[in-house]
Amino acid sequence: MSTRSGTTELTRLPGLEVKEVGPALEPSHFIERAPQKRLMVVSGRSHPVLAQRIAGLLGVELAGVDLKTFADGETYCRFEESVRGADMFIVQTAAKPIDQNLWELLIMVNAAKLASAKRITAVIPLFFYARQDKKSRPREPITAKLVADVLQTAGVDRVLTMDLHAGQVQGFFNVPVDHMTAVPMFAQHVRDLGLGDDLVAVAPDTGRTKLAGKFAEMIGGGLVVLNKERPEHNVAKVTSVIGEVEGKVAVMTDDIIDTAGTLCAGAEALKEAGATRVIACATHALFNGPALERIGNSVFDRVIVTDTVPVDELSKPDNVEVLTTSEILAETIHNVFSDDSVSAIFAGENQLF
């Protein structure tokens, strides 16, 4: 024990020293980070025009990404700016070449994942292999399920797509799937054409009857169903027209126009059944093979499609009209980013199957 200035200082054993307690921390001594979110839109090479339209509506510029193909066919990807902590929306659609664009999407997703993006949403206006959603014959794959698996393995946290060939594709994912539809946009466009009151919505087959019924309600018309057979892939034969089309304007609705064989066969059957005019609405305009020639020489007054895949304005016939889906996709992206309701965009009618 020792004495200093009238106070007593105790000598403590080694290891029992008492640490001095400093003053309490003030707010200036630490960093408080409020929740922050950063939206980024990046485009693959499948449909840069649509991606640019979406980004413009959102008021952002497309994020910089270096995409190129090496001489041996390998795809290279590198983001040209930091994506750490970003809410990323990667726009890539199932345009030709399908497999190359799918693999490019997977590489972009993986690059974003490894660069610490906070959430990765794959914006796929036309879903890859959407029509291969079930086994129609023995020893066939369910390729749409395979695509869902590899997207999730690559690191996708969410998928945004439009007018799936069949609703069950959503069940192939363990992550959220936002399913948009162009049907309300088509219905509004048909009403704006002023075609009169004698309208009927036509389902191209029995599997699309429910959707065509919703479309009929939207345009204020009746419902007609085409019964058809498929002897082989991309070949269809209409066997009967179920419903009254005599003296009416028939509006066909479908998800995909591939070679347009089914579409044109249905139009001929409707004309023979007495339809005064035939109009078609389809979301995905693939226009493969003789599709454009068939449509140009068909009985269609108008074929209305969207830009979920690129459509060559110079080669399309005069009776083909293209509507943009950029507003629907941009609004959906904004609501996903803001944690707002997506189904509210369609008043809960985006599940039409």
Task: Give the per-residue pLDDT at 3.
Answer: 47
The DSSP secondary-structure symbol of 51 reads H
State the DSSP code for 206: G
Task: Give the start-to-end residue ranges of the domains of the chain.
Answer: 39-181+329-346, 183-323
pLDDT score for 123? 98
pLDDT of 58 higher than 90: yes
- Of the chain, the percentage scoring pLDDT greater than 70 comes to 85
The most distant pair of C-alpha atoms in the chain lies apart, rounded to whole Å, by 118
pLDDT band with cut points at 50, 70 and 90 for residue 196 = confident
Lowest mean pLDDT, pick from 3-7, 54-58, 241-245, 284-288:
3-7
CATH no. of 39-181+329-346: 3.40.50.2020
pLDDT, residue 66, reads: 98
User: Is 308 a residue whose pLDDT tops 50?
Assistant: yes
More confident residue, 209 or 159: 159
Average pLDDT over residues 263-279: 94
Would you put residue 260 in left (φ > 0), alpha (ψ -120 to 50) or beta?
A: left
Q: What's residue 264's pLDDT?
A: 93
Which sequence positions are flagged as catalytic?
Answer: 228
> What pTM does this model have?
0.87
Containing H/E element for 198? none
Please check whether the two domains, 39-181+329-346 and 183-323, share a CATH topology.
yes
Give 158 or 208, the one with higher predicted confidence: 158
Show the tokens assigned to 93: 């659609």
Model pLDDT for residues 217-240, shown as the tens digit of each residue: 999 999 999 987 665 665 666 768
**Alpha-helical segments (H) within the chain:** 48-58, 98-114, 143-154, 183-192, 209-219, 261-272, 291-296, 326-337
pLDDT top residue among 109 and 204: 109
Rounded CA gap, 102 and 97, in Å?
9
Contact between 120 and 156 (Cβ < 8 Å): yes
Q: In CATH, what number does 183-323 get?
A: 3.40.50.2020
pLDDT over 60 at 257, yes or no:
yes
